[in-house]
Protein backbone atom coordinates (compact mmCIF):
# COMPACT_ATOMS: atom_id res chain seq x y z
CA UNK A 1 0.00 0.00 0.00
CA UNK A 2 2.83 2.35 0.83
CA UNK A 3 4.47 1.73 -2.56
CA UNK A 4 1.18 2.22 -4.36
CA UNK A 5 0.54 5.55 -2.66
CA UNK A 6 4.05 6.70 -3.56
CA UNK A 7 3.52 5.58 -7.14
CA UNK A 8 0.22 7.46 -7.29
CA UNK A 9 1.86 10.62 -5.94
CA UNK A 10 4.68 10.30 -8.46
CA UNK A 11 2.25 9.86 -11.35
CA UNK A 12 0.17 12.88 -10.32
CA UNK A 13 3.29 14.99 -9.81
CA UNK A 14 4.74 14.04 -13.20
CA UNK A 15 1.48 14.73 -15.04
CA UNK A 16 1.10 18.09 -13.30
CA UNK A 17 4.67 19.10 -14.03
CA UNK A 18 4.40 18.02 -17.65
CA UNK A 19 1.24 20.08 -18.06
CA UNK A 20 3.01 23.08 -16.52
CA UNK A 21 6.65 22.81 -17.60
CA UNK A 22 6.17 21.91 -21.28
CA UNK A 23 4.24 25.12 -22.09
CA UNK A 24 6.68 27.07 -19.94
CA UNK A 25 9.63 25.61 -21.85
CA UNK A 26 8.04 26.57 -25.17
CA UNK A 27 7.36 30.03 -23.83
CA UNK A 28 11.00 30.41 -22.77
CA UNK A 29 12.14 29.53 -26.30
CA UNK A 30 9.67 31.97 -27.85
CA UNK A 31 10.76 34.76 -25.53
CA UNK A 32 14.43 34.13 -26.36
CA UNK A 33 13.71 34.28 -30.10
CA UNK A 34 11.67 37.44 -29.73
CA UNK A 35 14.35 39.04 -27.60
CA UNK A 36 17.06 38.34 -30.19
CA UNK A 37 14.81 39.57 -33.01
CA UNK A 38 13.95 42.80 -31.21
CA UNK A 39 17.60 43.46 -30.49
CA UNK A 40 18.56 42.89 -34.14
CA UNK A 41 15.67 45.07 -35.33
CA UNK A 42 16.73 47.88 -33.02
CA UNK A 43 20.30 47.69 -34.33
CA UNK A 44 19.07 47.81 -37.91
CA UNK A 45 16.75 50.74 -37.23
CA UNK A 46 19.64 52.70 -35.78
CA UNK A 47 21.03 52.82 -39.35
CA UNK A 48 17.86 54.28 -40.88
CA UNK A 49 18.86 58.02 -40.46
CA UNK A 50 22.32 57.35 -41.87
CA UNK A 51 21.13 55.32 -44.84
CA UNK A 52 18.44 57.86 -45.62
CA UNK A 53 20.71 60.94 -45.68
CA UNK A 54 24.44 60.07 -45.80
CA UNK A 55 26.73 59.31 -48.71
CA UNK A 56 27.87 55.73 -49.47
CA UNK A 57 31.26 56.13 -47.76
CA UNK A 58 29.68 57.23 -44.49
CA UNK A 59 27.10 54.48 -44.72
CA UNK A 60 29.85 51.89 -45.27
CA UNK A 61 31.78 52.98 -42.19
CA UNK A 62 28.68 53.03 -40.01
CA UNK A 63 27.52 49.59 -41.21
CA UNK A 64 30.93 48.00 -40.66
CA UNK A 65 31.11 49.46 -37.14
CA UNK A 66 27.64 48.14 -36.29
CA UNK A 67 28.46 44.68 -37.67
CA UNK A 68 31.61 44.60 -35.56
CA UNK A 69 29.77 45.69 -32.41
CA UNK A 70 26.79 43.34 -32.81
CA UNK A 71 28.77 40.38 -34.16
CA UNK A 72 25.99 39.95 -36.66
CA UNK A 73 26.09 40.34 -40.51
CA UNK A 74 24.62 43.71 -41.59
CA UNK A 75 24.10 44.69 -45.22
CA UNK A 76 22.72 47.83 -46.89
CA UNK A 77 21.29 47.59 -50.41
CA UNK A 78 21.27 50.98 -52.19
CA UNK A 79 18.80 51.72 -54.99
CA UNK A 80 21.57 51.60 -57.62
CA UNK A 81 22.39 47.96 -56.65
CA UNK A 82 25.41 48.75 -54.45
CA UNK A 83 25.80 46.47 -51.39
CA UNK A 84 27.53 48.04 -48.39
CA UNK A 85 28.71 46.07 -45.34
CA UNK A 86 28.49 42.29 -45.39
CA UNK A 87 28.22 40.92 -48.88
CA UNK A 88 24.89 39.15 -49.33
CA UNK A 89 22.58 38.21 -52.23
CA UNK A 90 19.29 39.97 -52.83
CA UNK A 91 16.82 37.60 -51.23
CA UNK A 92 13.04 37.69 -51.79
CA UNK A 93 12.72 39.53 -48.47
CA UNK A 94 15.10 42.22 -49.77
CA UNK A 95 13.08 42.53 -52.96
CA UNK A 96 9.89 43.08 -50.94
CA UNK A 97 11.63 45.64 -48.75
CA UNK A 98 12.84 47.51 -51.86
CA UNK A 99 9.17 48.11 -52.57
CA UNK A 100 8.75 49.84 -49.23
CA UNK A 101 7.71 46.92 -46.96
CA UNK A 102 9.77 46.06 -43.88
CA UNK A 103 9.48 42.44 -42.66
CA UNK A 104 11.04 39.50 -40.86
CA UNK A 105 11.52 36.15 -42.59
CA UNK A 106 13.09 32.76 -41.89
CA UNK A 107 16.05 31.70 -43.98
CA UNK A 108 18.70 29.02 -44.02
CA UNK A 109 21.09 31.32 -42.15
CA UNK A 110 18.62 32.13 -39.38
CA UNK A 111 16.01 34.85 -38.96
CA UNK A 112 16.28 37.59 -41.62
CA UNK A 113 15.31 41.16 -40.63
CA UNK A 114 14.90 43.68 -43.50
CA UNK A 115 13.95 47.35 -43.13
CA UNK A 116 12.92 49.63 -45.99
CA UNK A 117 14.51 53.13 -45.90
CA UNK A 118 12.61 55.70 -47.89
CA UNK A 119 13.43 59.36 -48.56
CA UNK A 120 16.61 58.95 -50.56
CA UNK A 121 16.63 60.96 -53.79
CA UNK A 122 17.67 57.90 -55.80
CA UNK A 123 15.01 55.52 -54.41
CA UNK A 124 14.40 53.12 -51.50
CA UNK A 125 17.32 51.62 -49.62
CA UNK A 126 17.17 48.31 -47.68
CA UNK A 127 18.91 47.40 -44.43
CA UNK A 128 19.32 43.65 -43.91
CA UNK A 129 20.63 41.72 -40.89
CA UNK A 130 20.45 38.05 -39.98
CA UNK A 131 19.95 36.65 -36.47
CA UNK A 132 21.81 33.28 -36.32
CA UNK A 133 20.10 30.24 -34.79
CA UNK A 134 22.58 30.22 -31.92
CA UNK A 135 21.52 33.72 -30.91
CA UNK A 136 17.83 32.82 -31.23
CA UNK A 137 18.26 29.96 -28.74
CA UNK A 138 20.83 31.59 -26.49
CA UNK A 139 20.09 30.62 -22.85
CA UNK A 140 17.20 28.30 -23.78
CA UNK A 141 19.12 25.08 -23.04
CA UNK A 142 20.18 26.36 -19.64
CA UNK A 143 16.64 27.47 -18.85
CA UNK A 144 15.28 24.06 -19.88
CA UNK A 145 17.86 22.33 -17.69
CA UNK A 146 16.82 24.48 -14.73
CA UNK A 147 13.18 23.63 -15.38
CA UNK A 148 13.99 19.92 -15.62
CA UNK A 149 15.94 19.99 -12.36
CA UNK A 150 13.11 21.90 -10.74
CA UNK A 151 10.64 19.29 -11.98
CA UNK A 152 12.75 16.42 -10.62
CA UNK A 153 13.12 18.24 -7.30
CA UNK A 154 9.37 18.75 -7.07
CA UNK A 155 8.72 15.06 -7.86
CA UNK A 156 11.21 14.00 -5.18
CA UNK A 157 9.59 16.33 -2.65
CA UNK A 158 6.19 14.94 -3.62
CA UNK A 159 7.44 11.39 -3.15
CA UNK A 160 8.89 12.21 0.27
CA UNK A 161 5.66 13.87 1.39
CA UNK A 162 3.57 11.00 -0.02
CA UNK A 163 5.80 8.45 1.71
CA UNK A 164 5.40 10.18 5.05
CA UNK A 165 1.64 10.37 4.60
CA UNK A 166 1.54 6.73 3.52
CA UNK A 167 3.56 5.79 6.59
CA UNK A 168 0.98 7.42 8.84
CA UNK A 169 -1.64 5.19 7.18
CA UNK A 170 0.32 1.97 6.75
CA UNK A 171 1.85 1.83 10.23
CA UNK A 172 -1.52 1.80 12.08
CA UNK A 173 -2.91 -0.71 9.59
CA UNK A 174 0.12 -2.98 10.09
CA UNK A 175 -0.30 -2.72 13.84
CA UNK A 176 -3.98 -3.60 13.50
CA UNK A 177 -3.06 -6.65 11.44
CA UNK A 178 -0.37 -7.73 13.91
CA UNK A 179 -2.71 -7.41 16.90
CA UNK A 180 -5.47 -9.29 15.11
CA UNK A 181 -3.03 -12.17 14.42
CA UNK A 182 -1.97 -12.14 18.08
CA UNK A 183 -5.60 -12.33 19.14
CA UNK A 184 -6.11 -15.22 16.72
CA UNK A 185 -3.16 -16.96 18.46
CA UNK A 186 -4.98 -16.60 21.80
CA UNK A 187 -2.87 -13.65 23.05
CA UNK A 188 -5.94 -11.96 24.47
CA UNK A 189 -3.94 -9.27 26.26
CA UNK A 190 -2.82 -7.80 22.90
CA UNK A 191 -4.06 -4.26 22.32
CA UNK A 192 -3.69 -1.62 19.60
CA UNK A 193 -2.43 1.90 20.27
CA UNK A 194 -4.88 4.15 18.36
CA UNK A 195 -3.03 6.18 15.74
CA UNK A 196 -3.47 7.57 12.27
CA UNK A 197 -6.63 9.09 10.79
CA UNK A 198 -9.91 9.20 12.67
CA UNK A 199 -11.30 6.16 10.87
CA UNK A 200 -8.29 4.01 11.82
CA UNK A 201 -8.51 5.23 15.42
CA UNK A 202 -12.13 4.10 15.50
CA UNK A 203 -11.17 0.69 14.11
CA UNK A 204 -8.41 0.36 16.72
CA UNK A 205 -10.83 1.24 19.49
CA UNK A 206 -13.35 -1.29 18.19
CA UNK A 207 -10.68 -4.02 18.04
CA UNK A 208 -9.56 -3.26 21.60
CA UNK A 209 -13.17 -3.38 22.76
CA UNK A 210 -13.67 -6.70 20.98
CA UNK A 211 -10.55 -8.16 22.61
CA UNK A 212 -11.70 -7.03 26.03
CA UNK A 213 -15.13 -8.49 25.45
CA UNK A 214 -13.60 -11.81 24.37
CA UNK A 215 -11.57 -11.88 27.58
CA UNK A 216 -14.70 -11.26 29.65
CA UNK A 217 -16.66 -14.00 27.88
CA UNK A 218 -13.83 -16.53 28.19
CA UNK A 219 -13.38 -15.68 31.85
CA UNK A 220 -17.10 -16.23 32.45
CA UNK A 221 -16.97 -19.51 30.54
CA UNK A 222 -13.97 -20.69 32.56
CA UNK A 223 -15.73 -19.91 35.81
CA UNK A 224 -18.90 -21.66 34.69
CA UNK A 225 -16.98 -24.78 33.67
CA UNK A 226 -15.00 -24.70 36.89
CA UNK A 227 -18.18 -24.31 38.95
CA UNK A 228 -19.91 -27.10 37.07
CA UNK A 229 -16.91 -29.37 37.54
CA UNK A 230 -16.73 -28.50 41.22
CA UNK A 231 -20.34 -29.55 41.69
CA UNK A 232 -19.39 -33.05 40.58
CA UNK A 233 -17.30 -33.50 43.70
CA UNK A 234 -20.35 -34.03 45.90
CA UNK A 235 -21.77 -37.01 43.95
CA UNK A 236 -18.23 -38.37 43.60
CA UNK A 237 -17.79 -38.28 47.37
CA UNK A 238 -21.08 -40.09 47.81
CA UNK A 239 -20.06 -42.67 45.22
CA UNK A 240 -16.78 -43.23 47.04
CA UNK A 241 -18.60 -43.86 50.31
CA UNK A 242 -20.92 -46.31 48.56
CA UNK A 243 -17.96 -48.13 47.02
CA UNK A 244 -16.17 -48.43 50.34
CA UNK A 245 -19.29 -49.98 51.85
CA UNK A 246 -19.44 -52.85 49.35
CA UNK A 247 -19.16 -56.33 50.83
CA UNK A 248 -16.71 -57.65 48.22
CA UNK A 249 -13.27 -56.08 48.89
CA UNK A 250 -12.15 -56.59 45.28
CA UNK A 251 -15.21 -54.78 43.93
CA UNK A 252 -14.71 -52.02 46.49
CA UNK A 253 -11.08 -51.55 45.47
CA UNK A 254 -11.93 -51.58 41.77
CA UNK A 255 -14.78 -49.09 42.04
CA UNK A 256 -12.81 -46.86 44.41
CA UNK A 257 -9.94 -46.77 41.90
CA UNK A 258 -12.40 -45.77 39.19
CA UNK A 259 -13.80 -43.03 41.39
CA UNK A 260 -10.27 -41.79 42.10
CA UNK A 261 -9.57 -41.60 38.36
CA UNK A 262 -12.79 -39.71 37.78
CA UNK A 263 -11.98 -37.32 40.62
CA UNK A 264 -8.53 -36.67 39.15
CA UNK A 265 -10.14 -35.93 35.80
CA UNK A 266 -12.55 -33.46 37.41
CA UNK A 267 -9.68 -31.79 39.28
CA UNK A 268 -7.73 -31.47 36.06
CA UNK A 269 -10.76 -29.99 34.36
CA UNK A 270 -11.12 -27.37 37.09
CA UNK A 271 -7.44 -26.42 36.85
CA UNK A 272 -7.56 -26.24 33.08
CA UNK A 273 -10.72 -24.11 33.17
CA UNK A 274 -9.12 -21.64 35.58
CA UNK A 275 -5.89 -21.45 33.62
CA UNK A 276 -5.57 -17.91 32.20
CA UNK A 277 -3.20 -18.78 29.38
CA UNK A 278 -3.77 -21.61 26.93
CA UNK A 279 -1.34 -24.45 26.76
CA UNK A 280 1.18 -23.77 24.03
CA UNK A 281 1.18 -27.39 22.87
CA UNK A 282 0.96 -31.00 24.02
CA UNK A 283 3.79 -32.25 26.18
CA UNK A 284 3.76 -35.71 24.58
CA UNK A 285 3.51 -39.17 26.07
CA UNK A 286 4.08 -42.85 25.38
CA UNK A 287 0.99 -43.99 23.48
CA UNK A 288 1.73 -47.67 24.17
CA UNK A 289 1.63 -47.20 27.95
CA UNK A 290 -1.44 -44.95 27.99
CA UNK A 291 -3.51 -47.09 25.60
CA UNK A 292 -2.57 -50.32 27.39
CA UNK A 293 -3.62 -48.84 30.73
CA UNK A 294 -7.01 -47.63 29.44
CA UNK A 295 -7.73 -50.88 27.59
CA UNK A 296 -6.96 -52.80 30.78
CA UNK A 297 -9.39 -50.55 32.67
CA UNK A 298 -12.22 -51.07 30.16
CA UNK A 299 -11.53 -54.81 29.87
CA UNK A 300 -13.05 -55.36 33.31
CA UNK A 301 -16.32 -53.77 32.20
CA UNK A 302 -16.14 -55.68 28.92
CA UNK A 303 -15.93 -58.93 30.88
CA UNK A 304 -18.97 -57.95 32.93
CA UNK A 305 -21.01 -57.22 29.78
CA UNK A 306 -19.91 -60.32 27.90
CA UNK A 307 -17.79 -58.54 25.31
CA UNK A 308 -14.69 -60.02 23.74
CA UNK A 309 -11.74 -57.64 23.54
CA UNK A 310 -9.17 -58.23 20.80
CA UNK A 311 -5.92 -56.46 21.59
CA UNK A 312 -3.29 -55.74 18.97
CA UNK A 313 -1.06 -53.34 20.87
CA UNK A 314 2.49 -52.70 19.76
CA UNK A 315 5.13 -52.70 22.46
CA UNK A 316 6.42 -49.31 23.47
CA UNK A 317 7.68 -46.83 23.58
CA UNK A 318 5.55 -45.08 20.94
CA UNK A 319 5.99 -41.33 21.57
CA UNK A 320 3.21 -39.06 20.30
CA UNK A 321 2.68 -35.28 20.43
CA UNK A 322 -0.40 -35.59 22.68
CA UNK A 323 -0.42 -35.28 26.44
CA UNK A 324 -1.17 -38.37 28.50
CA UNK A 325 -4.39 -36.88 29.91
CA UNK A 326 -5.71 -35.93 26.47
CA UNK A 327 -4.84 -39.32 24.97
CA UNK A 328 -6.44 -41.14 27.90
CA UNK A 329 -9.58 -39.02 27.51
CA UNK A 330 -9.66 -39.81 23.78
CA UNK A 331 -9.32 -43.56 24.38
CA UNK A 332 -11.99 -43.43 27.07
CA UNK A 333 -14.30 -41.56 24.71
CA UNK A 334 -13.82 -44.10 21.90
CA UNK A 335 -14.25 -47.15 24.15
CA UNK A 336 -17.12 -45.49 25.96
CA UNK A 337 -18.90 -45.08 22.63
CA UNK A 338 -18.53 -48.82 21.99
CA UNK A 339 -20.19 -49.67 25.31
CA UNK A 340 -22.85 -46.96 24.91
CA UNK A 341 -23.91 -47.62 21.31
CA UNK A 342 -23.57 -51.39 20.88
CA UNK A 343 -25.52 -54.12 22.68
CA UNK A 344 -23.92 -56.22 25.39
CA UNK A 345 -21.86 -59.08 24.03
CA UNK A 346 -20.64 -57.14 20.98
CA UNK A 347 -16.91 -57.75 20.53
CA UNK A 348 -14.49 -54.98 19.67
CA UNK A 349 -10.86 -54.64 18.64
CA UNK A 350 -8.20 -52.17 19.73
CA UNK A 351 -5.12 -51.85 17.55
CA UNK A 352 -2.05 -49.68 18.18
CA UNK A 353 0.84 -49.59 15.75
CA UNK A 354 3.59 -47.21 14.77
CA UNK A 355 4.29 -46.18 11.16
CA UNK A 356 7.91 -46.92 10.20
CA UNK A 357 10.08 -43.82 9.87
CA UNK A 358 10.94 -44.54 6.22
CA UNK A 359 7.26 -44.87 5.30
CA UNK A 360 6.41 -41.68 7.17
CA UNK A 361 9.18 -39.79 5.37
CA UNK A 362 7.77 -40.90 2.00
CA UNK A 363 4.34 -39.62 3.08
CA UNK A 364 5.87 -36.26 3.96
CA UNK A 365 5.17 -36.43 7.72
CA UNK A 366 7.40 -36.63 10.76
CA UNK A 367 6.01 -40.07 11.71
CA UNK A 368 2.77 -41.18 13.33
CA UNK A 369 1.12 -43.78 15.53
CA UNK A 370 -2.17 -45.40 14.46
CA UNK A 371 -4.83 -46.17 17.08
CA UNK A 372 -7.88 -48.05 15.82
CA UNK A 373 -11.05 -48.96 17.74
CA UNK A 374 -13.41 -51.19 15.73
CA UNK A 375 -16.59 -52.93 16.85
CA UNK A 376 -19.05 -55.34 15.26
CA UNK A 377 -22.12 -53.25 16.09
CA UNK A 378 -24.58 -51.41 13.83
CA UNK A 379 -22.07 -48.70 12.89
CA UNK A 380 -22.59 -44.94 12.86
CA UNK A 381 -23.22 -42.23 10.23
CA UNK A 382 -20.15 -40.35 8.90
CA UNK A 383 -21.28 -36.94 10.25
CA UNK A 384 -21.23 -38.22 13.84
CA UNK A 385 -17.73 -36.77 14.22
CA UNK A 386 -19.24 -33.28 14.28
CA UNK A 387 -19.33 -31.73 17.73
CA UNK A 388 -22.73 -32.26 19.33
CA UNK A 389 -23.91 -34.73 16.66
CA UNK A 390 -25.44 -37.89 18.10
CA UNK A 391 -28.08 -40.38 16.97
CA UNK A 392 -28.37 -42.25 20.26
CA UNK A 393 -29.34 -39.57 22.76
CA UNK A 394 -25.80 -38.86 24.04
CA UNK A 395 -24.06 -35.50 24.25
CA UNK A 396 -22.29 -36.04 20.93
CA UNK A 397 -18.94 -34.90 22.34
CA UNK A 398 -17.04 -38.21 22.51
CA UNK A 399 -15.71 -38.33 18.98
CA UNK A 400 -15.07 -34.60 19.03
CA UNK A 401 -12.91 -35.01 22.14
CA UNK A 402 -10.88 -37.66 20.34
CA UNK A 403 -10.66 -35.53 17.20
CA UNK A 404 -9.43 -32.47 19.08
CA UNK A 405 -6.87 -34.53 20.99
CA UNK A 406 -5.45 -35.88 17.72
CA UNK A 407 -5.47 -32.50 15.94
CA UNK A 408 -3.80 -30.77 18.90
CA UNK A 409 -0.67 -32.79 18.17
CA UNK A 410 -0.83 -32.53 14.39
CA UNK A 411 -2.84 -35.70 13.74
CA UNK A 412 -6.42 -36.40 12.65
CA UNK A 413 -9.43 -38.66 13.18
CA UNK A 414 -10.96 -40.89 10.51
CA UNK A 415 -14.33 -42.63 10.69
CA UNK A 416 -14.89 -45.69 8.53
CA UNK A 417 -16.76 -48.98 8.33
CA UNK A 418 -15.09 -51.83 10.20
CA UNK A 419 -14.05 -55.14 8.63
CA UNK A 420 -17.12 -56.88 10.15
CA UNK A 421 -19.63 -54.16 9.24
CA UNK A 422 -19.46 -52.15 12.43
CA UNK A 423 -17.84 -48.80 13.07
CA UNK A 424 -14.09 -48.21 13.08
CA UNK A 425 -12.49 -45.05 14.41
CA UNK A 426 -8.88 -44.43 13.43
CA UNK A 427 -6.73 -41.90 15.25
CA UNK A 428 -3.59 -40.82 13.47
CA UNK A 429 -1.33 -39.47 16.23
CA UNK A 430 1.69 -37.47 15.08
CA UNK A 431 5.07 -38.13 16.59
CA UNK A 432 6.75 -35.30 18.52
CA UNK A 433 8.70 -32.81 16.42
CA UNK A 434 12.44 -33.36 16.41
CA UNK A 435 14.34 -30.64 18.29
CA UNK A 436 16.07 -28.15 16.01
CA UNK A 437 19.79 -27.85 16.28
CA UNK A 438 21.62 -24.55 16.68
Under the banding of pLDDT at 50, 70 and 90, the label for residue 4 is confident
Cα distance between residue 17 and residue 22, in whole Å: 8
Question: Nearest to residue 413, comparing CAs of 435, 398, 433?
Answer: 398
Please list, in sequence order, all residues whose beta carbon lies within 8 angstroms of the beta carbon of residue 332, skipping any fewer than 6 positions away: 294, 298
As a whole number, mean pLDDT of residues 340-358 equals 83
Q: What is the CATH number of the domain that holds 333?
A: 3.30.565.10
Note whether 89 and 211 are same-domain residues: no
CA distances from 14 to 11, 20, 146 (A): 5, 10, 16
**Among candidate residues 273, 303, 325, the one where a domain is terminated:** 273
Q: Is 61 exposed, middle or buried (0-12, 13-18, 19+ CB in 10 A)?
A: middle
**Does 261 map to a domain?**
yes
**Does 171 map to a domain?**
no
Under the banding of pLDDT at 50, 70 and 90, the label for residue 187 is confident
Note whether 291 and 236 are same-domain residues: no
pLDDT of 3 reads: 78
Note whether 269 and 290 are same-domain residues: no
Under the banding of pLDDT at 50, 70 and 90, the label for residue 34 is very high
Note whether 247 and 305 are same-domain residues: no
Note whether 288 and 381 are same-domain residues: yes
Please list, in sequence order, all residues whose beta carbon lies within 8 angstroms of the beta carbon of residue 269, skipping any fewer than 6 positions away: 225, 226, 229
- Residue range 84-118, pLDDT digits in tens: 998 888 899 999 998 888 999 988 888 999 999 98
Residue 255's domain spans which residues? Answer: 198-273
How many folded domains does the chain comprise? 3
pLDDT > 90? residue 390: no
pLDDT > 70? residue 288: yes
Contact yes or no for 114/128 (Cβ under 8 A): yes
As a whole number, mean pLDDT of residues 313-338 equals 87
**Does 166 map to a domain?**
no
Note whether 214 and 255 are same-domain residues: yes
pLDDT > 60? residue 388: no
pTM of the entire structure? 0.47
- CA torsion angle for 326, 330, 336, 341 (degrees, to 10)? 150
3-state helix vs strand vs coil in the chain, percent to 5: 55, 15, 25
pLDDT > 60? residue 165: yes
As a whole number, mean pLDDT of residues 410-432 equals 86
Under the banding of pLDDT at 50, 70 and 90, the label for residue 228 is low
> Residue 367: left (phi > 0), alpha (psi -120 to 50), or beta?
left
**Does 223 map to a domain?**
yes
pLDDT of 356 reads: 65
Under the banding of pLDDT at 50, 70 and 90, the label for residue 376 is confident
Note whether 254 and 293 are same-domain residues: no
As a whole number, mean pLDDT of residues 200-214 equals 90
Note whether 234 and 338 are same-domain residues: no
Note whether 55 and 134 are same-domain residues: yes
**Does 187 map to a domain?**
no
Higher pLDDT: 218 or 273? It is: 218
**Does 165 map to a domain?**
no
Contact yes or no for 128/75 (Cβ under 8 A): yes
Please list, in sequence order, all residues whose beta carbon lies within 8 angstroms of the beta carbon of residue 122, skipping any fewer than 6 positions away: 78, 79, 80
Count other C-beta atoms under 10 Å from residue 230's C-beta. 14
Contact yes or no for 55/63 (Cβ under 8 A): no
**Among candidate residues 241, 273, 305, the one where a domain is terminated:** 273
Q: Degrees (nearest 5) of the Cα angle 382, 385, 387?
A: 140
Least confident of 9-13, 79-83, 252-256: 252-256
> Residue 42: left (phi > 0), alpha (psi -120 to 50), or beta?
alpha
As a whole number, mean pLDDT of residues 270-283 equals 56
Note whether 295 and 238 are same-domain residues: no
pLDDT > 90? residue 401: no
Note whether 225 and 321 are same-domain residues: no
pLDDT of 436 reads: 53
pLDDT > 80? residue 141: yes
Q: What is the CATH number of the domain that holds 105?
A: 3.30.450.20
Note whether 262 and 344 are same-domain residues: no
**Does 184 map to a domain?**
no
**Among candidate residues 273, 304, 338, the one where a domain is terminated:** 273
pLDDT > 70? residue 6: yes
Count other C-beta atoms under 10 Å from residue 152's C-beta. 12
Question: Nearest to residue 301, comparing CAs of 293, 309, 292?
Answer: 309
**Does 124 map to a domain?**
yes
Amino acid sequence: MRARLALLAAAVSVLTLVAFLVPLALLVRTVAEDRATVRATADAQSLVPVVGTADPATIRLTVEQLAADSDRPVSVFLPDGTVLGTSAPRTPAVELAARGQSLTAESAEGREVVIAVQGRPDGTGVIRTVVPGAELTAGVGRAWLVLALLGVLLVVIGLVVADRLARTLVRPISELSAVSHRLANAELDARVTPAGPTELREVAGALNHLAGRIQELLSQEREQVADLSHRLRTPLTALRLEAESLGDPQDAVRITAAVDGLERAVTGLIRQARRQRPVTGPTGCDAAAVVADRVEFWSVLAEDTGRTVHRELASGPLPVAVSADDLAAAVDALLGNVFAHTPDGTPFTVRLAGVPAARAAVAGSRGEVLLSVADEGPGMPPDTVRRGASTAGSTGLGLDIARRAAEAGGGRLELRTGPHGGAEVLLRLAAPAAPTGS
